[in-house]
Amino acid sequence: MGKYAFADGTDFTHIYSYNKVMSKNDCKGISERLNRTNFRILAWYFNPGKTKQTGLKHVELIHKEPMQSTGKEKFTVYVYIKTKVYDPLKP
């Protein structure tokens, strides 16, 4: 499994994931890729506790924002920054 990057291998810097409806296995797979991607900003729908459960490492919560769907559903989007650069040469 790779990372989230452009065709030339440059990592995506800003990532948005509508992960609130994904399975646990999907979220763990996304986190594995994110752990190998040197993104700067990640916006998704898991609080810090649930984010940790997915296996996502080296992130810090910087903002959370209440949201409302076009229906009546209310939820929160969490914005994280990556705190440690991933180096594929260092396991």
Residues 6+ apart with CB under 8 A from 84: 57, 58
- Residue 90 forms part of a structural domain: no
Q: Report pTM.
A: 0.91
**pLDDT tens column, 42-90:** 999 999 999 999 999 999 999 999 988 788 888 999 999 999 999 988 8
- Nearest alpha carbon to residue 11 among 35, 46, 45, 44: 35
- Residue 66 forms part of a structural domain: yes
Domain that holds residue 44: 14-82
Count the domains in the chain: 1
Q: Please tell me the distance from the alpha carbon of residue 39 to that of residue 44, in angstroms, as a whole number.
A: 13
- Residue 18 forms part of a structural domain: yes
- Residue 5 forms part of a structural domain: no
Mean pLDDT score, 20-46: 95
Strand order of the β-sheet with 59-68 is 14-16, 41-44, 74-82, 59-68
- Residue 89 forms part of a structural domain: no
